[in-house]
A and B are shown apart, each in its own frame.
Chain A
Amino acid sequence: MNPSFAIYVQDLHKDFGDTYAVQGVDFQVRSGEIFSLLGPNGAGKSTTISMLSCLLRPTRGDALIMGKSITREPQQVKESLGVVPQDIALYPDLSARENLMFWGKMYGLRGAALKARVDEVLEIVGLTNNAKGRIERFSGGMKRRINIGAALLHRPEVLILDEPTVGIDPQSRRSILDNVKELNRQGMTVLYTSHYMEEVAELSDHIAIMDRGKIIAAGTHDELVKIVGEFDRLDLTTNQPAEQVVDCWRTVPGVQSISVNDGVISALVEDSNVVLPDLFEAAAGIGARITSVDIQEPNLESVFIHLTGRALRD
């Protein structure tokens, strides 16, 4: 294992009986970079994060965080780690300030230093004016921001965020993404998990795509997109049930892979100019009509579809 990386993960496994949640995950995160784990729900991202946070003990394998082993030195790991859990983990009947004061104490901060740091974190997350308000009265976005703030109190060297923007409004999401970038600019190493391709694409220096407990691809955004660089992605809707249309489109020449998500058919094709008319014809052949077409540049979603045959949000 190479301790020069901020995070070094080697052959991490986690089994729950007959369920293999994480199977041989390896990746490395350099100091000061943003590394993202991208994958659909159930891919094993949260389980991986739980192991790195020392909440779950790996069945096999190990990881070093700032040179400390998660299996042999968990308390030391936690001192340099800030974890933002996927669900809001705050006390709803305490105020924002009371929550931060408590969590600061859990990280070993005391007295005037704690009070000053709480004020600073409230400023960072933009909730200084709401410090006395009870968490239960906050909006979802405000709760998420305090949720992040609680992990920043002790100035961690590594920050892990597990799907921090789930279920919040676009404005709050924007605020969180900007905060993450700013923290990274200040030198913090960030491990970010999400199933939102756009966030990952915007934030990350390096990305690992996870599916069914394994990393199926890793690299920079450009490196990953190059996997499907020659393919166009078409997002189509029809007037017939998508599953019926997909069956006849699979056999159309030039279609590399096809998937359905929320009634939208995503197809990776070699050349959209050539394949699209064939798709219209095939649909007409079964009495279906294409109602909308959207041509996308190759992106991470395309990569995932290409590698797994499923959409990220399946």
Chain B
Amino acid sequence: MKVFDIAFKDMLRSFRSAFAVGMMLVAPLLQTGLIYAAFGGLLKQSENQEMSIPVITVQVVNRDLGAPAGDLNAGDMLVDLFNDDRLQSIFAVSVAEDEAAARAAVDRQEAAAALFIPADFTRAALTPGKQAQITVYEDPALTFGPGLVREVVDQFLDGFSGGQIAASALREQFAAQGHAPDSALEQQIMTGYGIWLQSISSAQGLDLPVDIAPPARDTAPESTGSDQRTSFLGPVMVGMMILFVFFGAALTAQTIVTEQEEGTLARMLTTPTPAAVILGGKLAAVFLTLIVQTLVLIALSALVFGINWGNPLTILLASVGMVISAAGFGVLLLSFIKTSRQAGPVIGGVVTFTAMLSGLMTTGLPSVPSFFEMTGLALPQGWALRAFRLALSGAAPHEVIVPLLVMLAFGIIFFMAGARVFRARFV
């Protein structure tokens, strides 16, 4: 019972301290809020707007003379592709008088790219062993539009490769049977393939190289917004929460040193309260304070920032591991500190440094630098980060068992080492 009397007294003092409340609760929420304020507008914009791509203007100069015989014209086929109804919302194609005019249009940024289809385009496409080439002149300031144009052209050219493959296979068959290659037959195959390609593109339309679809939406726009906030702010909040929970642990454990200086620790030892009970009470205070801190941060961040923390049991397990490892960390850290004057710089330095090594400062990045992945393995904060990342991604409880066990091991080892030092100093 006295253990809890001491623990609740310490908790009361902690939560009455503006500094302690500021560091444990306000700072992590404020840091996350600042990041949300800075970048949250981007999320809101994407939540409210349909996905759209600006129309890509293309100038075309088609000099293709077509096939030597028949009316097959690959150049016309390519222009028809860009003018397909299904691509009308993406490409706006116009025919230029000549190359110079097309280039000038791109230079004036009136077009994203210009296509120059040479006179022998069809002939090259139907000639075995020869490659048909198209020149794409693009605006260097743009990447997406010209890239899409190149993609369409490449896929169109790939369509003719079927004829090249058939001709090549014929040549190999002739060679395998000891016959000389028959160029006329190869030409016939490639021409026939080109005519077939032209006929099905007229009848059915070529398979589009670009597939346009709006983003899949689940049920309501709000869930998408929450998912976006969770994926963006969730890791940031996790990093801040872990950092300040470990800070809170050290801050609460510091009361052991403070009470020694205040004389209240000695006074407690003059009462019929065993030293082990006094130490137990101090340590229970650390543990209980961190539980309150974690619960408040998770609840408030869900309420204020709309972060979806995932499976409640997963979060509970991750939180238990974090609290136990942080409590042990705080006790061990304070066991080396003799005065409260030492405590500030030591706590601040060690907590911040280990937080950096654990990758807590880079949680907002798309991927954690590999260096921090490695160093995080050696620190309880790194394992807490793993556990909470899993929780945010919707992991099931059993998926955080390993990080939980590692954090428990850290906590128990730190706690035993720290308690041993405190017993020697105070008991």
List A residues at the B interface (Cβ < 8 Å): 53-55, 75-76, 78-79, 81, 83, 85, 87-94, 98, 102-103, 105-108, 150
Contacts and interface: CB of A to CB of B under 8 A. Distances in A.
Closest 3 pairs between A and B when the two form their complex, measured CB to CB: A89-B263, A89-B267, A106-B271
Given A105-B2, A105-B5, A106-B2, A93 B270 contact: no
Contact of B13 (A81, A91, A150): A91
Given A75-B272, A78-B272, A93-B16, A85 B2 contact: no
Contacts of B9: 91, 94, 102
B266 interface: yes
Interface in B112-143: none
A59 B264 CA distance: 25
A205 B426 CA distance: 36
B271 A78 contact: yes
B374 interface: no
B269 interface: yes
A159 to B, nearest CB: 12
Dominant secondary structure of chain A at its interface with chain B: loop
Contacts of A107: 271-272
Contacts of B274: 75
Given A93-B13, A94-B13, A79 B272 contact: yes
A91 B264 contact: yes
6 contacts: A55-B266, A75-B274, A78-B270, A83-B267, A83-B270, A89-B263
A85 B265 CA distance: 11
B5 A106 contact: yes
Interface string B235-265: 0000000000000000000000000001110
B208 interface: no
B223 interface: no
A89 B13 CA distance: 15
Contacts of B13: 91, 93-94
A105 B4 CA distance: 11
B263 A106 contact: no
Contacts of B5: 102, 105-106
Contact of B273 (A87, A89, A91, A106): A106
Nearest to B259: A91
Given A91-B264, A93-B17, A94-B13, A55 B270 contact: yes
B266 A85 contact: yes
Contacts of A54: 269-270
Q: Which of B5, B13, B270, B271 has the most CB of A within 10 A?
A: B270
B278 to A, nearest CB: 9
Contact of B263 (A75, A81, A88, A105): A88
Contacts of B270: 53-55, 78, 81, 83, 85
Contact of B267 (A79, A85, A98, A108): A85
Nearest to B16: A93
B272 A87 contact: no
Contacts of A81: 270
Contact of B264 (A53, A78, A90): A90
A108 B270 CA distance: 13
Contact of A108 (B17, B262, B268, B272): B272
B12 interface: yes
Contacts of A150: 267
Contacts of B16: 93
Contacts of A90: 262, 264
Interface string B179-193: 000000000000000
A127 to B, nearest CB: 18
B266 A106 contact: no
Interface string B317-353: 0000000000000000000000000000000000000
Contacts of A53: 270
B263 A85 contact: yes
Interface string B264-299: 101111111110000000000000000000000000
B266 A103 contact: no
A53 B271 CA distance: 9
B269 A55 contact: yes
A76 B272 CA distance: 7
A196 to B, nearest CB: 21
Nearest to B265: A89
B276 to A, nearest CB: 12
Interface in B77-108: none
A45 to B, nearest CB: 16
A46 to B, nearest CB: 11
Nearest to A77: B272
A98 B10 CA distance: 12
A78, A94, A103, A106: most-surrounded residue (chain B CB, <10 A): A106
A89 B260 CA distance: 10
Contacts of A94: 9, 12-13
B272 A89 contact: no
A78 B267 CA distance: 11
Contacts of B269: 54-55
B200 to A, nearest CB: 85
B12 to A, nearest CB: 7
Contacts of A103: 267, 271
Nearest to B271: A106
A79 B17 CA distance: 33
A87 B2 CA distance: 24
Interface string B7-32: 00100110011000000000000000
Given A83-B267, A103-B267, 4 more contacts: A76-B272, A78-B272, A89-B262, A93-B16
Nearest to A78: B272
Nearest to A106: B271
Contacts of A89: 262-264, 266-267
B269 to A, nearest CB: 6
A87 B261 CA distance: 10
A69 B422 CA distance: 26
Contacts of B264: 89-91
A150 B266 CA distance: 14
A51 B12 CA distance: 32
Contacts of A75: 272, 274
Contacts of A93: 13, 16-17
Contacts of B272: 75-76, 78-79, 107-108
B12 A87 contact: no
A13 to B, nearest CB: 21
Contacts of A55: 266, 269-270
B211 to A, nearest CB: 66
Nearest to A105: B5
A51 to B, nearest CB: 12
Contacts of B266: 55, 85, 89
A89 B273 CA distance: 16
